[in-house]
Structure 1
Amino acid sequence: MEDTDPELYREAFRSTDIPMLIADTNFAFRDINDAGLDFLGYDYDEIIGESVGLIAGDEEVYYEIIEHMLAGESWSGEFVVRRTDDRVVYGHGFATPIVVEGEVQGFLAFFLDTTKQQQYENVSEVLSRLLRHDLRNELNVIYGYTQQVASRIDDEEALAELQLVQDKVLDIVHKSERARDLRDLLERSHDRSNRPVRLDTVLQKRTVDATIDYPDAEFTFENFPEVEVVADDLLGEAIECLLENAVTHNDKETPVVDISVERANGSVYIRVADNGPGVPEAQRDLIFGREEYDQLHHGTGISLFFADNVISSYDGDLWVEDDDDEGAVFCIRLEEQATDE
């Protein structure tokens, strides 16, 4: 196809959805397509002429790529890119020399964002650590109770303490099953892209499931608006975690959970309000596992940590605030899926 119009190739370069760039032999930006500009957060005039090292988040990998280019060899592998807002992005890339009539005229590179996959892998590792930590602590509690029972086996209170032991065992089983299910979901979903998800359908299903799982609790809600949000298959699991938390950490005889949805300025807000003891402001990052003030104090468990990371992977937000009357309100902000006019 020697007679093919060069403009066809230029248009293909500029219109592809994959971030691509062309560098000169001094490793300065010579051209970059629109997807690359969006990915990096730069304007065209800001970046043309600048060193490609400007976006390198890992100098070792950057120099490895340069060595391959100088040797006339193609390169592919994992990379780390630093955007103009200093956000680090993990990805997989490919770079190759551009050879014209036997001379290297520059270099072509393209890259795929694998940040979501990397995030899920990190979450999976932390889930394993949390599970091991929780299991160790719960087993220590069981051991303590069994010692007390053994020391006064004829004591009538021993039956009550034995019931506590049984409750703890069931709690361990539940946590193990939850961790296993969440890890399975993560492993199946890490390579899936965010997509439009019908929020009302997800909420209806999870709310009905919760009323069955927790018959002693009361769930209140009005008709959910028919709206699509940017999410994936894990959204339902994240919402289930919040409903579960609203019941299991509730100190009332009848836990009451209210679920509501609002839309505003391109975002959708989900509120899960309960009548429990509330969450002190100083603990509002701890319960999501965002920080730990020593090795023995973590969040309230795996579920909130999981929900927080799932919502974050949608570029959404999850936080907790006080209810006007009593209890806590767990709030989710998701991006509403734009519709074609």
Structure 2
Amino acid sequence: MDESEADPVLVVADASRTLVEDAGDALAAAFDVRRVETAGACLSRAEAGSADAVLAAHDLPGVDGLGLLRSVRLSRPALPFVLAPANGSEALAGEALAAGADGYVPADADAETVVARVRDALEGTGRDAGASAGRRYRSLVESSPAPINVFDADGRSIWGNDAVLDLLGLDDRADLIGRSIFELVHPDDHERARRELASVIEAKEATGPTEMRLRTPSRGTRYVRVSTAVGRFRGADVGQAIAVDVTGVREREHQLQLLDRWLRHNVRNEMTVIRGLAEDLRRGAVDDVSAAASRISASANTLLKQAEHERELIETLTESLGEEFVRVNVAAIARRQVAECAAANPHADVELVRADDVEAHVLPALSTAVRELLDNAVRHSDVSKPRVEVSVERDGDTGVLRVADDGPGIPAEERDALSVEAETDQLHHGSGLGLALVYWLVRRSGGDVAFSENDPRGSVVTVRL
């Protein structure tokens, strides 16, 4: 059959299969039917251009037929859309037409009527006066660099631009449509979100900017400032939430707090030692002057090393702010850092036990993070011959770097202090700053860091990129 003669592709959104069972044969004879069960799946086909028309039941999981209609009108304003509820009413028919439906099928209609309504909708493509307005609205939202989510009176998402998908770490708009905003907002911020929703939908008042936390499937907790306005689209009140991602700002504030506390704590400790020994020397209360002088010199050297370490850390973090990601071979980085660590620490057993060919798109400073992990494992070991094993593995599309040691382990308070939500007084002042550097560099590279116990003792740090 010539492509121009092919049957129109009709996407039937019907979770209960009622439409397929009642009018399936007639629909299949007239159209190329593609059945889906959810509003998100239907929207994906519509956005992909693989639908010439939509026939939707009203009773769909997550988002009902009217919600799907409004989502489609944002994605494909002129796509023919017919609503066919299993239990309809005049009120529902009116809402459907106000929302831009091209046709409405009563619940008691026969199969021929269903087919006829779809044909009428196809023949009337472009007659909807709201189509151009829908296109303009979508263009404004889509062109915005800021994440924008459009939701209904119940707080369910009916559309979002690409920027909001990036913020939430979602691959497809179908993953967003129908989801309640309360699935995305951190549980501790639910009450705040409810107040915002009530102000926008019920009181018709704009809100914000309000800081909230979002939970994302792949990007962890994100901190955002949200401004929400009420709107009217296709006969229904909608909320329009514009978000500004301030996670980077919060993380940098946390970094500065940790650095400040770390420096003050360590300077105070060493200066207390120096001042005490100097006072003892002044009073002539020291039997071994040479030993006291050596101790003062050692504390001074420790301070100098700590100052140099912090300077390097600040430089690394500052330089990484404006750096572009580069593609690197993770195994090559691990191999080089293992060799350098082993050469610098001949008393330690540092070995690369596995090196899959893994590439990742990361900050150039990732090698600094790997070096810091190895140095920490050796420096803070409590055994005479530290054992450090490094592995690089491929896990699907993810690269996994593991550093396992047989040392005393990483204190829980030190691990917990890395989170932006942690109090800065949780910082343990041993390897905490080095781990913080690793955590921040990996996070900025779009990766994740996890900690676990080694068997029979020690720690395992896992970096996923």
TM-score category of the 2 structures, normalised to the smaller one: 0.5 to 0.7
Q: Which residue of 2 aligns with 1:235?
A: 366
Q: Which residue of 2 aligns with 1:285?
A: 412
The superposition leaves residues 260-318 of structure 1 with CA deviations (integer Å, 9 ceiling, x where unpaired) of 2233355443333445xx225xx631343639999798241421233245445645233
The superposition leaves residues 10-29 of structure 1 with CA deviations (integer Å, 9 ceiling, x where unpaired) of 665569886322367x7966
Q: Which residue of 2 aligns with 1:44?
A: 177
Q: Please list every run of 5 or more consecutive structure 2 residues that lacks an aligned counterpart in the other structure.
A: 1-130
Inter-partner Cα distance in structure 1 for 2:259 and 2:281: 33
**Match of 1:131, as an amino acid?**
L
Inter-partner Cα distance in structure 2 for 1:57 and 1:179: 39
Q: Which residue of 2 aligns with 1:182?
A: 313
Matching of residues 151-300 of structure 1 within 5 Å: 155=287, 157-190=288-321, 197-211=328-342, 213-214=344-345, 217=348, 219-221=350-352, 224-229=355-360, 231-251=362-382, 255-274=386-405, 278-279=407-408, 284-288=411-415, 290=417, 298-300=428-430
Q: Which residue of 1 aligns with 2:123?
A: none
Matched, 1:21 2:153: no
Paired residues in the alignment total 319
Matched, 1:33 2:163: no
Q: 1:273–1:110: structure 2 CA closer, same or farther, 3 Å change rule? A: same
**Match of 2:275, as an amino acid?**
Y
Inter-partner Cα distance in structure 2 for 1:76 and 1:190: 28
Q: Which residue of 1 aligns with 2:105?
A: none
Whether contact under 8 Å (1:289, 1:299) holds in the other structure is no
Inter-partner Cα distance in structure 2 for 1:29 and 1:166: 65
Whether contact under 8 Å (1:99, 1:106) holds in the other structure is yes
Structure 1 vs Structure 2 CA RMSD: 5.0
Whether contact under 8 Å (1:58, 1:79) holds in the other structure is no
Match of 1:123 among 237, 255, 271: 255
The alpha-carbon deviation at position 72 of structure 1 amounts to: 9.7
Inter-partner Cα distance in structure 2 for 1:243 and 1:237: 10
Q: Which residue of 1 aligns with 2:223?
A: 90
The alpha-carbon deviation at position 136 of structure 1 amounts to: 0.6
With the length of structure 1 as denominator, give the TM-score of the two structures: 0.67
Matched, 1:133 2:265: yes
**Secondary structure of the corresponding residue to residue 178 of structure 2:** helix
Q: 1:27–1:251: structure 2 CA closer, same or farther, 3 Å change rule? A: closer
Whether contact under 8 Å (2:257, 2:424) holds in the other structure is no
Task: Decide which moves more: 283-292 or 133-142.
Answer: 283-292
Whether contact under 8 Å (2:286, 2:292) holds in the other structure is no
Higher relative contact order (CA 8 A, sep 6+): 1
Inter-partner Cα distance in structure 2 for 1:191 and 1:58: 37
Q: 1:300–1:293: structure 2 CA closer, same or farther, 3 Å change rule? A: farther
The superposition leaves residues 88-133 of structure 1 with CA deviations (integer Å, 9 ceiling, x where unpaired) of 5323556667699xxxx86644334332442233122222112111
With the length of structure 2 as denominator, give the TM-score of the two structures: 0.52
Inter-partner Cα distance in structure 2 for 1:300 and 1:54: 32
**Secondary structure of the corresponding residue to residue 256 of structure 2:** helix
Whether contact under 8 Å (1:14, 1:32) holds in the other structure is no
Which protein shows a greater Rg? 2
**Secondary structure of the corresponding residue to residue 461 of structure 2:** strand
The superposition leaves residues 201-256 of structure 1 with CA deviations (integer Å, 9 ceiling, x where unpaired) of 43244334435654665533257332124643443232222212122223455555
Q: 1:159–1:218: structure 2 CA closer, same or farther, 3 Å change rule? A: farther
